Amino acid sequence: MEDGLYTRISEMEPMMPTNSAGELDDLAIEVIRKSAGISAAVHPVTRRGIVELVRKMNSYYSNLIEGHNTHPVDIDRAMREDFSKDPVKRAKQLESKAHIEVQKSIEAHIQDNPGTVITSKNFLCWIHKEFYERMPEEYLIVQRTNGKTEKVIPGKTRELEVEVGRHLPPKSEYICGFMKRFEEVYDPQNLKGLSQVIAAAASHHRLAWIHPFVDGNGRVTRLMTHAYLKKAKIDGHGLWTVSRGFARNREEYLASLAGADQPRRGDMDGRGNLTQAGLFEFCRFFLKTAVDQIDFMAGLLDLDGMQKRIQAVVDRQVSFGELKPEAGHLLRDVFLRGEIARGEIPNIIGMPERSARRVVSSLLAKGYLVSDSEKGPVMLAFPASLVGYYFPRLYPEGVEASLD
């Protein structure tokens, strides 16, 4: 250690928590089991639409943790290149869009390049580069605690010393060594089963502890965690995100991270430089949060419950004279079947062809259905205006109330 800054790789130990009484193993088993089951009942085509919604939700919550609150409707608009004239709101829209696009790029990269080492310095710098190259110019300038400003260079590790709360991360000239150790220990390709799940939690903290970039460490860490869960095949096909749990328990999340930053708490606290107990407590928090979020999404995706909520949306629109009652049958069927050819729709809803076309047109115009072409099959859509009805509590209460 020099000037209070970490310089020796061994100062990052322990890298994995001691599994007290098998508690972390039990939680890891729950994550694997429940994540595997979450998508079983959802049609793959319908699932694609929900996964896109979860990406938007992940962007919303990951940025919210950093204090940037972008309304889900504005995120939807950003994905359609419909940006606000208000420069502050526009910047947040660009940030949200960047997060979603980078997450999609990560998923595609992992699928196309199965040998990718997602814990490597190169991969993490690539995430940072992809993210910050999409960011508004004003977000590339950061204010330091000493009052000076610094320019963020996309994909480049920091060359200056920083302070994160009470934590002093490793000295900048030693970052490469710490990152190399990080890669070696946490590469999921070298781990199996429960160790992969626990390493997903431990690596989340240790990357934040290294703090390799001038700015964006939180977002890069959470995107890396998404990549980790994807690589380990415990992401539920993209149907859940741990960031929602972190954001809804933000103070506990940040306190758990800070707790694992601490030095060893005496002879009974492991043999490494850092606290073993603190790392265990963070991993327990991470895994409990993961289980909670999987349970939450599994509850929302229950087939009976989802069909009832779809019907409730239609009933509400029927009462306003906005939709025909037959729309409910069509939407429920599309949810279950994934997509429906337009020629089948008159028989499904029991209406003449011309009347059925009008029902479909109204649902497409409202954004309740989508189609890849003018005559192609229709699929269920998940616009921000319906999120609060289809997926209650997905977003915070105040935000949900303003979606309609």
At residue 192's C-alpha, the angle toward residues 190 and 198, to 5°, is: 100
What distance separates the 2 farthest-apart alpha carbons in the chain? 80
Instruction: Answer yes or no: is pLDDT of 351 > 80.
Output: yes
Burial class (CB in 10 A: 0-12, 13-18, 19+), 23: middle
Of 33, 10, 12, residue with least CA distance to 197:
33
Q: How confident is the model at residue 2 (pLDDT cuts 50, 70, 90)?
A: low
- CA distances from residue 362 to 308, 317, 325 in whole angstroms, order as listed: 21, 11, 12
Summarised one tens digit per residue, pLDDT across range 210-226 is 999 999 999 999 999 99
- CA distances from residue 6 to 145, 169, 181, 260, 374 in whole angstroms, order as listed: 19, 7, 14, 15, 60
Q: What is the pLDDT of residue 397?
A: 74
Of 389, 388, 392, residue with least CA distance to 72:
388
**Cis, peptide link before residue 346, omega less than 30° from 0:** no
Lowest-confidence range among 124-133, 146-155, 237-246, 282-291? 146-155
Name the one residue in this structure whose structure tokens are 């949200």: 96
**Cβ neighbours of residue 87 under 8 Å, at least 6 residues apart?**
none
Instruction: Answer yes or no: is pLDDT of 378 > 90.
Output: yes
The number of C-alpha atoms within 13 Å of 25 and in the hemisphere containing its C-beta is 6
DSSP-derived pairing of the beta strands 378-380 and 339-340: antiparallel
Domain ranges of the chain: 9-300, 303-401
Instruction: Answer yes or no: is pLDDT of 21 > 80.
Output: no
Query: What residues does 340 pair with on adjacent strands?
Result: 378
Summarised one tens digit per residue, pLDDT across range 248-268 is 999 999 999 999 999 998 888
Of all residues in the chain, the percent with pLDDT exceeding 90 is 87
Of all residues in the chain, the percent with pLDDT exceeding 70 is 97
The whole-model pTM stands at: 0.94
Instruction: Answer yes or no: is pLDDT of 14 > 80.
Output: yes
Q: What is the pLDDT of residue 5?
A: 83
Q: What is the pLDDT of residue 398?
A: 66
Q: Is the pLDDT higher at 148 or at 312?
A: 312
Fold classification of 303-401 is Arc Repressor Mutant, subunit A (1.10.10)
Is domain 9-300 annotated with CATH 3.90.1150.10?
A: no
Same fold, 9-300 and 303-401: no
Q: How confident is the model at residue 143 (pLDDT cuts 50, 70, 90)?
A: confident
Summarised one tens digit per residue, pLDDT across range 157-192 is 999 998 888 889 999 999 999 999 999 999 999 999
111-116 long-range contacts, Cβ below 8 Å, gap at least 24?
Answer: 115/189, 116/231
Q: How confident is the model at residue 147 (pLDDT cuts 50, 70, 90)?
A: confident
Q: What is the pLDDT of residue 404?
A: 59
Whole-angstrom distance, CA of residue 39 vs CA of residue 26: 22
**What is the average pLDDT value for the chain, to the nearest integer?**
94
Instruction: Answer yes or no: is pLDDT of 400 > 80.
Output: no
3 state SS for the chain: CECCECCCHHHHCCCCCCCHHHHHHHHHHHHHHHHHHCCCCCCHHHHHHHHHHHHHHHHHHHHHHCCCCCCHHHHHHHHCCCCCCCHHHHHHHHHHHHHHHHHHHHHHHHHHCCCCCCCCHHHHHHHHHHHHCCCCHHHHEEECCCCCEEECCCCCCCCCCCCECCECCCCHHHHHHHHHHHHHHHCHHHCCHHHHHHHHHHHHHHHHHHCCCCCCHHHHHHHHHHHHHHHCCCCHHHCCCHHHHHHHCHHHHHHHHHHHHCECCCCCCCCCCECHHHHHHHHHHHHHHHHHHHHHHHHHCCHHHHHHHHHHHHHHHHHCCCCCCHHHHHHHHHHHHCEECHHHHHHHHCCCHHHHHHHHHHHHHHCCEEECCCCCCEEECCCHHHHHHHCCCCCCHHHHHCCC
